A = this chain, B = another copy of it.
């Protein structure tokens, strides 16, 4: 390992959409926007120093920080080198938005550290480290957002233990996202799920999962659209998101292939095959929330096939 202390890099750590409709807990994809900017410097401090964040006041103690914890683990696993990191995050992905805010920080940190340490880790090892950050955030090591953030594109997590991540080559897809400014806690969103489901409903769901994967890989937009139905999670969770049904219905009228809750919400995403359609969907989303005077952010973006990216190095 050749170390250059003081080496500083700038990182783009993008948002991600997990729980791709019928693909709850297994399918997610990476976005171009929103995207965090991170500055990571290799130091010889033997620890992680995190600059205070003026907007969201996220924890600066590395053990409590989603980016800090994975970096601590990397330091611990390479004790013989007495490395350390200095980290500054400019968060553009609002925590609690449901578009992978914590995953972006964790994934950005580990991909950055890997760059500074001379590319010593595989993508799968990076996912394993970054999941330690998700554990800080939610108490659970999950890879739904981490995997697409690190691999880019659409990823399938076939299995979490052992970890089995399968990148799925995707056709060109436009993504429209609305983030209504309310808070849905991941823990609440998980608590309301039914622990038992009907076999016949599960069969309908797995027909759609198979259809969605086939649609993605065969670049069949109509099949993707027909498969974007969730009989299990969405009917329960959408209750937590104001105007969900209306957003979805009007997006479809505007030409969306389909979509649903991003992660555990409250953001809603819609997929389409043209930029013009994606913009029409954005307008309809804005109108719906403006009518009830609920603040919202919207994004029109595309699937990001690169994932976390090092944008400058000095």
A binding-site residues for B, Cβ under 8 Å: 22-27, 156-159, 164, 166, 168, 193-200, 202-214, 217-218, 223, 226-227, 232
CA distance A213 to B232 in the complex (A): 21
With most chain B CB atoms within 10 A of its CB, the pick from A24, A193, A196 is A196
B211, A214: Cβ atoms closer than 8 Å: no
In the complex, are the beta carbons of B206 and A209 less than 8 A apart?
yes
| Stoichiometry (number of copies) | 2
Is there an interface contact between B232 and A23, defined as CB atoms closer than 8 Å? no
Quick one: closest B residue to A158, CB to CB? Answer: B211
Contact A210 B211 (CB under 8 A): no
Most buried by B among A22, A156, A193: A156
**Contact between B203 and A156 (Cβ–Cβ < 8 Å)?**
no
In the complex the two chains form, is B159's CB within 8 Å of A204's CB? yes
- Cβ A226 vs Cβ B158 within 8 A: yes
Establish whether residues A164 and B210, one from each chain, have CB atoms under 8 Å apart when the complex forms.
no
Q: 8 more A-B contacts (CB under 8 A) besides A159-B208, A196-B198, A209-B209?
A: A24-B206, A26-B210, A156-B214, A158-B208, A159-B226, A164-B211, A195-B199, A197-B197
Q: A164-B226, A196-B198, A199-B232 are in contact. Are A207 and B24 (CB under 8 A)?
A: no
Of the candidates B26, B198, B208, B214, the one whose C-beta lies within 8 Å of that of A203 is: B26
- Tell me which residues across on chain B come within 8 A of A198, comparing CB atoms: 195-197
